[in-house]
């Protein structure tokens, strides 16, 4: 097969990538007139809509529309629960960035997650290419632990960036995470031993069992039922 790095990405293909990346399980009722049942992307679009990653106008989700660079920046901002950064835009065409995407683009750029073109512009309304999307994701994610991993259930990592964990029952031992650790909806059980998370630990499954053994965590965010052992090692706990 061919990767076709310069081809544009549709909103539906973007939804499929995010669905697999974040191990999405929640879904939504299909009330959209332009989202046909039984398409390869239908479930992924509804899952991304259910958690607020991809939005529509109430009647349409525009699955076959190509995604623009500013659209993708906004969606990734939501996916990774980024905190707003008010730094001014460094792009020469900052005035062309839509008002609804300005904060998101500037925040991703301030972290070095997105870059502009050699002439200093961002090209917010340009269709994003497959290669550009992969580059953005590679900049955001340092380590990805897939649910299909066949290696040992205990790993030791040192990550200067973000980690995504989709494997149930994974143990992080003697590990250091400088940014955030995302336990996806597919990850319902995790152990951390002699480790630390400098950023936020996101527990995204509807039910989660977390065991912190001699582990320091700056922040924990959960929007569901979580059983946490070693919670005294958490500086801040947020429940939505």
**SS3 state at 23:** coil
pLDDT at 90: 86
Q: What are phi and psi of 46, to 5 degrees?
A: -70, -35
**Which ranges of 67-188 would DSSP assign to H, the alpha helix?**
69-79, 102-110, 130-140
pLDDT tens per residue, range 84-125: 876 678 899 999 999 999 999 999 999 999 999 999 999 999
pLDDT at 58: 87
Which residues, 6 or more positions from 55, have their beta carbon under 8 angstroms from its beta carbon?
49
Determine contact, residues 189/209, Cβ cutoff 8 Å.
yes
Total-model pTM: 0.94
d(CA 115, CA 118): 9
Residue 150 has pLDDT above 70, yes or no: no
pLDDT at 153: 85
d(CA 152, CA 178): 23
Determine contact, residues 102/89, Cβ cutoff 8 Å.
yes
Residue 240 has pLDDT above 90, yes or no: no
**Which ranges of the chain would DSSP assign to H, the alpha helix?**
11-22, 42-50, 69-79, 102-110, 130-140
End-to-end alpha carbon distance in the chain: 43
Q: Considering all CA atoms of the chain, what is the largest pairwise distance in Å, rounded to the nearest integer?
A: 52
Q: Pick from 143, 180, 185: which is nearest to 48 by CA? A: 185
Average model confidence (pLDDT) across the chain: 93
Of all residues in the chain, the percent with pLDDT exceeding 90 is: 87
pLDDT tens per residue, range 126-141: 999 999 999 999 999 9
Residue 162 has pLDDT above 70, yes or no: yes
């Amino acid at each position: 097969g061919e990767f076709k790095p310069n081809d544009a990405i549709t909103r539906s293909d973007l939804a499929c990538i995010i669905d697999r990346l974040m191990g999405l399980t929640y879904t939504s009722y299909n009330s959209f007139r332009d989202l046909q049942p039984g398409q390869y992307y239908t479930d992924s679009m509804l899952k991304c809509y259910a958690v607020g990653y991809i939005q529509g106008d109430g009647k349409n989700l525009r699955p076959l529309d190509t995604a623009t660079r500013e659209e993708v920046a906004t969606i990734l901002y939501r996916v990774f629960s980024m905190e707003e950064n008010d730094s001014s835009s460094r792009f020469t065409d900052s005035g062309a960035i839509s008002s609804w995407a300005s904060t998101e683009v500037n925040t991703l750029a301030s972290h070095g997650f997105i870059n502009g073109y050699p002439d200093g512009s961002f090209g917010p309304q340009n269709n994003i290419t497959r290669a550009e999307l992969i580059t953005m994701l590679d900049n955001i994610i340092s380590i990805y632990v897939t649910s299909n991993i066949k290696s040992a259930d205990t790993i030791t990592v040192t990550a200067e960036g973000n980690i995504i964990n989709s494997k149930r029952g994974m143990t992080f031992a003697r590990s250091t995470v400088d940014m955030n650790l995302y336990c996806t909806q597919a990850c319902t059980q995790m152990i951390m031993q002699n480790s630390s998370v400098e950023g936020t630990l996101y527990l995204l499954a509807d039910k989660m069992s977390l065991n912190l053994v001699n582990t320091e965590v700056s922040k924990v965010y959960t929007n569901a039922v979580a059983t946490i052992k070693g919670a005294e090692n958490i500086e801040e706990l947020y429940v939505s």
